[in-house]
Chain A
């Protein structure tokens, strides 16, 4: 593990740094609430105070500690986005891999995926949430539906590609059944791609969760999410700007981190991407050639 990390560090410092940031984020979100004041206990007498020693980021409209709420919101938002990413990944990759491997039989599914992709994500999720009601569960359902097609598309093209590889043909000649090939050959080899994509979905879900919560269609207060905190904070933008700025920055940080890790992972998985990243392109022609 340590050796692996060291190797990684030598290969791609930035990636390791982002990994550390993610770990830190998770750590803060997991153990933070037990160190900070309660994110829920209201003290209407201490509403909308600016940053101070006791309340590092001030208090909100109920006199709750904003920092504690940002951390608690991180817990909710990250968890929800994670569950969404997980669901979309599982659903999407099953649909994609199956329809890619049995190329002919499954175009119906992909047509349905196309139809889903014809809605801009936010519009589809608004419609779905409006229909099935607000709350964490509905949001998870709605956003999973939104993101599944993206995963399906990626994993399908991956499966199409893998289905022609020699080892798949060899497995078929060895009498391995279709489902088993999917499980033992296609899935493991598509996994890196799926993982990269699922991290992107994680990040995108975080953003969309922010937007939905902001529009009041996500998780409902008093449970904080970054999005609904910003919505709650809107009226106070001029009085207590930290209240708006903090959760927004948290979203940006989390999304940047996830995207960076996804990109780093991609460059590990796909060496070409790495070659691209480290390419140097145009050279000065009027320079004396380098001699050894």
Chain B
């Protein structure tokens, strides 16, 4: 029989799982693909690329220093690679030189594949230079930071993008980007890096923004379905909070009683 005190857990988990799975199914079968709003972060990427083209200076991109399979930042790196694909195509379309700096060995082949296809899709495959456009610096945090900064200064980049899982080295990279005068757009779910990105870069995607931007940009409908499923769960939580607060102000704390059942 039921364990005491787990009824509210069961109800909420079942309700949330229902919405998450339904919209996952509907979107994967293309029955209903939710519309994701255009994220201001995407607008900032386009603005930065436009600025780079005007000034005729290159664009640099780092998809993070964490592995593709690291359980903590696997989601981050995957979202970063989706945004890499989009940024690469936009950069090639606008004709500015595009440079990608890589640290984790497992991300290298995936990133090369994404950027090579981007050049192909924009009809300029000859502009993609092997080992040049996508450069593997070093798997080690500080080795990567030093080489990435060296590249930014050498190339005098006008736009710099930092997405995916970054650690303390991001601080040094963002500062060098500012000294070079590049417009910087960053994204991360690591709440210990976010405050520094927010004040050092021109625009920063906070936590789940990164996944939403990736879902907006990616052709894969399932990403949009997952985002929408989570939206509904958050709206339910918001509703419970508003209802609970108003009712308890009126002295009826049915919501918190229900939640403790």
A pairs with B: no
Interface residues of A, Cβ cutoff 8 Å to B: none
Interface residues of B, Cβ cutoff 8 Å to A: none
